Structure 1
């Protein structure tokens, strides 16, 4: 069994940490992003990985960056066989990449070289990809450019971002543990990433979460799934933002953004969508029927 430094922050990384422990690997320390103020109340909240690591009684380190010699020396002093990185969120300097005996291995939520970068799950849904997956990659200085050690596919179907994240997290955990399972065996040779098919998954900008009725209905429905449940795709009416947390394609046509009926079916540039779960600011998720009882959006309204 390996001595592992685990580096991850959001909920996506938690199944990998649990799987490493379940497989008998020794966790030398857990690195994650520092606690940050939550949206409500501005209280500092630890990351999902920090919470889980503390539940397990593991040493947690939350440096703001890893550039200082002191941080790099402290990392190297852990004497790890390997560092496993899953959505950590900080750039690893070369001395950190070089410190573990087997280097640093990344659990990345895409089929590299497609969707290198920060938001591969959201970008895959927005682009209408039929297939996503996980790549286990040997890390190097470039952004998700290292050689591939293992990979597995998963059909996206109608999953939203949260559902796809959960399923890819489980897939990645299993794939990583399988790769590390038997150090006595000879793992497959690392495969360089092909030069063809490289795409970059830029961080989601808040402006992208506003629903764009000028797009075909299929693209608008993908917007809903890509941002559900958070940050949430939204439209504005009566000075208030309404989030669409779930929707499906519907029959109907009209001016882009036109409300077509009393069920809140909305016309797009081509086709229409019908929301099934919505949310007003400061309130819980609800059906469109419940929304419309207290917040009128009559048929014929043109939503901006």
Structure 2
């Protein structure tokens, strides 16, 4: 099958690789080079890097200019496949390929339409999430879907879940394309009564808070990222909590107290204790809890939410 692929972040790379192994990817469309890390240099998107490594033609665009539309027409693709491209596609693009335009979305639609479905599934404590192969329409993730695959959420970080769903989505798309091509795919309209929206994560949402449950704080750590880290104050020091889990065996502590003993760092929450295993004080490298505790003289101190 002759395909145009559109994608930008690392989530889209497994789908591109799997499509390239099974089909003719005639053109890869991705967003332009940008400052993507803490440095000041322009960097190519993960999809651009992968496409060049595969020897595929690449075009960079953050909007559908006449030149981009001409390039899309010229390749005469049968279908456009999208995974986290990050650009609104006009009707002309949606109807250009005979088989239309399909998207790999990282949720079990209609749950979690929107920008941050993976993080929202973690924060809400969903037992499972997954991927959907859907038609792209005018609304945000409102199109009908023809295939879904699921996986458990419990205990996985945002990065871990993203990587798993990326592989799952690529496999599902490749398996589903033949049914889309021969018309046997069954398209299911989304039940609007079951819709939930996955708004972009704000930094304030992931700040740890001693007045909420230990489980809620654990989910904030799991859902955190460089863009929205799980931060708090521990023993007077602003820190990012890199890894933590609800403690199964811990001393009885009052909420807002941190306990540092026997190489353990425990943060007392509203209804339990969060045990920190990896932490990054501001201006320092990431370290394990024992190393952090070694630099604090007190066995108990306070911890709290960043202002």
TM > 0.5: yes
Task: Output the CA distance in 2 between the equivalents of 1:177 and 1:103.
Answer: 16
1:274 corresponds to: 275
The reply on whether 1:115 has 2:112 as its aligned counterpart is yes
Is contact 1:228–1:246 with CA below 8 Å preserved after alignment? no
1:10 corresponds to: 9
Q: Secondary structure at the match of 1:42?
A: coil
Task: Output the CA distance in 2 between the equivalents of 1:75 and 1:136.
Answer: 22
TM-score, normalization: structure 1?
0.92
2:49 corresponds to: 51
Q: In structure 1, list runs of 5 or more residues that go unmatched.
A: none
Q: Deviation of residue 298 (structure 1)?
A: 4.6
Q: Deviation of residue 189 (structure 1)?
A: 1.9
TM-score, normalization: structure 2?
0.91
Q: Deviation of residue 7 (structure 1)?
A: 0.7
Task: Output the CA distance in 1 between the equivalents of 2:181 and 2:205.
Answer: 48
Q: Secondary structure at the match of 2:4?
A: strand
2:255 corresponds to: 256
Residue among 22, 33, 40 paired with 2:38: 40
Task: Output the CA distance in 2 between the equivalents of 1:27 and 1:40.
Answer: 32
User: CA-to-partner distance for each residue in 1:170-210, whole Å, 9 max, x for gaps?
Assistant: 11111000011467744232111112210111111122232
Task: Output the CA distance in 2 between the equivalents of 1:15 and 1:181.
Answer: 19
User: CA-to-partner distance for each residue in 1:11-63, whole Å, 9 max, x for gaps?
Assistant: 1111101101111x111111112111144331111111111111112111121
Task: Output the CA distance in 1 between the equivalents of 2:19 and 2:40.
Answer: 33
Q: Deviation of residue 70 (structure 1)?
A: 3.4
Is contact 2:15–2:169 with CA below 8 Å preserved after alignment? yes
1:26 corresponds to: 24
Residue among 94, 100, 103 paired with 1:97: 94
Q: Secondary structure at the match of 1:292?
A: helix
2:304 corresponds to: 303
Task: Output the CA distance in 1 between the equivalents of 2:174 and 2:118.
Answer: 22
Is contact 1:160–1:228 with CA below 8 Å preserved after alignment? no
Q: In structure 2, list runs of 5 or more residues that go unmatched.
A: none
Q: Deviation of residue 301 (structure 1)?
A: 1.9
Residue among 159, 162, 185 paired with 1:188: 185
Task: Output the CA distance in 2 between the equivalents of 1:239 and 1:188.
Answer: 58
Q: Deviation of residue 237 (structure 1)?
A: 4.6
Q: Against the structure 1 CA distance between its residues 223 and 297, is the aligned structure 2 distance closer, same or farther, given a 3 Å change threshold?
A: farther
1:126 corresponds to: 123
Residue among 157, 169, 172 paired with 2:169: 172
1:216 corresponds to: 213
Q: Please give the root-mean-square deviation of Cα atoms over the aligned residues, in Å.
A: 2.0
1:75 corresponds to: 72
